[in-house]
């Protein structure tokens, strides 16, 4: 059985135009990173209200885990939104090639 326990030093809040919250967890009972990450996702809220007033809910942004011992992981769930910009990001590969042309 995998246990997910929120740590005492959890709920680190950063305020500002784009607030963020980090919830910190201990995950016990597996040495498999996929199982640990899945258990953390299943046992952490998808939305978090940093002020407790019901006016602002931050979406879950990232989930990270790190092994700290046998059957033991440290997990961090980050909530927040990225600032929106008017920039577009494109990635492409034109490939490479050569061509041999013989002319008479």
Give the pLDDT score at 95. Answer: 63
Q: What is the pLDDT of residues 24-43, one digit of tens each?
A: 999 999 999 999 999 999 99
Rounded CA-CA distance 94/20 in Å is: 38
Residue 86 CB: number of other CB atoms within 10 A? 4
Q: What is the pLDDT of residues 14-25, one digit of tens each?
A: 988 899 999 999
Q: What is the distance, to the nearest Å, from the Cα of residue 1 to the centroid of all Cα atoms in its chain?
A: 24
7 — pLDDT class (breaks 50, 70, 90):
very high
Task: Note whether 71 and 31 are within 8 A (CB).
Answer: yes
Which pair of structure tokens corresponds to residue 55? 């006016």
Q: What are the residue ranges spanned by the domains of the chain?
A: 3-80
């Amino acid at each position: 059985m995998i246990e997910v326990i929120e740590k005492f030093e959890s709920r680190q809040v950063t305020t500002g135009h784009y607030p963020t919250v980090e919830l910190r967890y201990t995950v016990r009972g597996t040495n498999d990173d996929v199982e640990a990450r899945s258990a953390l996702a299943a046992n952490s809220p998808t939305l978090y209200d940093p002020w407790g007033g019901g006016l602002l809910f931050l979406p879950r942004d990232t989930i990270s885990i790190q092994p700290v011992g046998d059957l033991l992981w440290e997990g961090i769930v980050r909530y927040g939104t990225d600032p929106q910009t008017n920039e577009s990001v494109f990635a492409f590969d034109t490939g490479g090639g050569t061509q041999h042309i013989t002319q008479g």
